[in-house]
Structure 1
Amino acid sequence: MEKKTILKAENISVSFKVRNRELRAIRNVSLELKEQETLAIVGESGSGKSVLTKTFTGMLETNGEITSGTIEYAGKDLATLKKDEEWDGIRGKEIATIFQDPMTSLNPIKTIGSQISEVIIKHQGKSSKEAKQMAIDLMDRTGIPNAAKRYDEYPFQYSGGMRQRIVIAIALACRPKILICDEPTTALDVTIQAQILELIRELQEEYKFTTIFITHDLGVVASIADKVAVMYAGQIIETGTVEEIFYDPRHPYTWSLLSSLPQLGQKGDELYSVPGTPPSLYKEIKGDAFAPRSSYAMQIDFDSEPPMFQVTETHFAKTWLLDPRAPEVQKPEIIQGLHEKLVALTEAAEANNGGEVRV
């Protein structure tokens, strides 16, 4: 059965005023989010991933504004909301965010339990006694051992992984319909990363929320996403199911990201890195923003911005290589047969470790 659309952004542009100059952080982005799916937004730092999702919660910095477009959610256009009180029934309660560093989300001088309880009281209208029990239940549900005892402890008494679990508990205390995870595992070691990802997956299944996962780690994408949106220079340049993006990518920038997968590195060889640097978003970008860094660029890439071409019902890519008049090119050899390569790597890891490995 076709899933319902829960949020739809159309032609969103965002600009920031920086020292009397305009920085165009988001350039005409459209995005559709379905109920209970996990959408991963990937791209290099500065590509606009976090800025885009901040428009869904009214959390742009004071020098930033949405200059065009609409964001349809629950019968409202979120792009038109300006004041904090207009966001009160949405931010946190309907659309919640988990950030990269839990210490920026937690108050260091308040107990862990009180920070969860006050969210429950505010958004669910519970009494202090009810809120405390619900907070302990959430702590327990997110994997905090001896939750009742640790309710009165402070953030400094928790490890990084445990603090991130508390931030997840606080987000879930609002009972949101959309959970935005902004690089929530970047500061954690690999083992804890895997535990947090598994926790988010389990909680999504239980609470039936929709997830937007912001990351630059394609390994995370492979393990958690249903759909992927690839961002570059303030635009979505390719979108599709996780299988389409990994095994049938069409944009040269997506090819470069996949070529950078550490799993594909050969012993003794230098790991691939995307050449050059992203363009300045202070300047007007002409043509395909990735063209100066791409060995596949044609003259038209420097002259005209490509449209979003449709590959399948769910797969779209913004590249002139999909124009019927374009020459036929092969994607880089390192990502040809990527599925088979990743399966082989997984089987080798399982054989070495004697356990299950998920790629």
Structure 2
Amino acid sequence: MTDKSVILSAKDVVVEFAVRDRILTAIRGISLDLYEGEVLALVGESGSGKSVLTKVFTGMLESNGRVAQGSVLYRGQELTQLKTHKEWESIRGKKIATIFQDPMTSLDPIKSIGSQITEVITKHQGKSKEEAKQMAIDYMKKVGIPEADKRFDDYPFQYSGGMRQRIVIAIALACKPDILVCDEPTTALDVTIQAQIIALLKSIQEEYRFTTIFITHDLGVVASIADKVAVMYAGDIVEYGTVEELFYDPRHPYTWSLLSSLPQLADDKGVLFSIPGTPPSLYKEIKGDAFAPRSQYAMAIDFEEAVPRFDISETHWAKTWLLHPDAPKVDKPAVIQNLHEKISQKHQGGLRK
């Protein structure tokens, strides 16, 4: 196993939302260890629970949501016992910060860019106004804002989408957090700017050695930035491993489907693989493997019994009955064979080593 220490540990976490007199179970008994200094990617379709899970770590669940079961320990502190905004102040931002996908909604439109960064520095680092201003300008330069000292007093509407996202990253840096949650930080940006922001996040992570949770549906991004990957489906983690294990030795049919959808694997006509069907309703109890109704590899047991965790290596596990010793042997789809060359061509240098 890794010799790095566990910085955050979630055990059997269940998250429920009350919606129109019904209960929606968004997270279904997730257990996960986050290791210090690593980049963990959470991947899966929209609605799989990626953002909800990380909101548990920062106490940012919507008012109709609650942690119904389980434990979340951050450096030995039980986060599920924190209830009020006051109690969360010592954690949210200061210890666990979040970069959201839409920078415009993350910034106050009536406050200058500089004031929003200095406010964080004075609050979390205890600096004077003069010190905070210089530090804010330094952070702006670090994230690539040109003529930062001249643009210190600008307002968000005077910045482009990519520049606003850089400012959101600067604010996160100013918090000096232990854990940085990046919630699809490039989704609202065009492709060219996306690549710049990903490169910026990689360089910052390497410099500051944050423990990072990177939420994305783009497996290409995962290949270039992550150390570990957790594949989420219907509120549960169905496969977990190093980035190399998930790309070169995936075991869950849902992971196979996600990899088969990579743009590099489009056919000669540019047609991409699409996963048939839709995710299950989270209002209902899920019996067996939640992905079974959409999987061509499903067996009778997949519709009857919950799948236990099967360990493949010390760092790799999956929840699929295909890993049971008595299960028929099936090969992963031909389309995801020899992924190394295809990924390397798209992302220079291939998978992160």
Task: Identify whether the pair has TM-score above 0.5, normalized to the shorter chain.
Answer: yes
Q: Distance in 1 between matches of 2:271 and 2:186?
A: 26
CA RMSD of aligned residues (A): 1.2
Deviation, 1:357, is 7.0
CA distance in 2, matches of 1:357, 1:172: 27
Q: Match of 1:135, as an amino acid?
A: A
Counterpart CA distance in 2 for 1:217 and 1:140 is: 28
Bigger shift: 101-110 or 73-82? 73-82
Secondary structure class of the residue paired with 1:16: strand
Identify unmatched segments of 5+ residues in structure 1: 350-355
1:283 offset after TM fit, Å? Answer: 0.5
SS of aligned partner of 1:92 = coil
The equivalences for 1:6-85 within 5 A come to: 6-85=7-86
Distance 2:307 2:340 in 1: 28
- Residue 319 (str. 1) matches residue 350 (str. 2): no
Mapping for residues 1-359 of structure 1, pairs under 5 Å: 2-268=3-269, 270-343=271-344, 345-346=345-346
Cα displacement string for residues 30-58 of structure 1 (whole angstroms, at most 9, x for unaligned residues):
11011110000000000000000000000
Q: What is the rounded CA distance, in whole Å, between the counterparts of 1:266 and 1:23 in structure 2?
A: 38
| Post-superposition offset of 1:183 | 0.2
User: What's the offset of the Cα at 1:191?
Assistant: 1.5
Question: Structure 2: how far apart are the matches of 1:223 and 1:2?
Answer: 23
Determine helix, strand or coil for the equivalent of 2:298.
coil
d(CA) in 2 for partners of 1:64 and 1:22? 10
Deviation at 1:130, TM superposition (A): 0.7
Using the size of structure 2 for normalisation, the TM-score is 0.97
- Looking at structure 1, the residues matched to 229 and 16 of structure 2 have their Cα atoms a distance apart, in angstroms, of 24
**SS across alignment from 2:258:** helix
Asked if structure 1 preserves the Cα contact closer than 8 Å seen for 2:17 and 2:65, the reply is yes
- What is the CA–CA distance in structure 1 between the aligned matches of 2:152 and 2:209, rounded to whole Å? 26
Shift of 1:337: 2.1
Structure 2's unaligned 5+ residue stretches are none
The percent of aligned pairs where both chains have the same amino acid is: 70
Equivalent position SS for 2:69: strand
Secondary structure of the 1:176 match is coil
Alignment check: 8 A CA contact 2:72 2:80 kept: yes
CA drift of 1:269 comes to 5.1
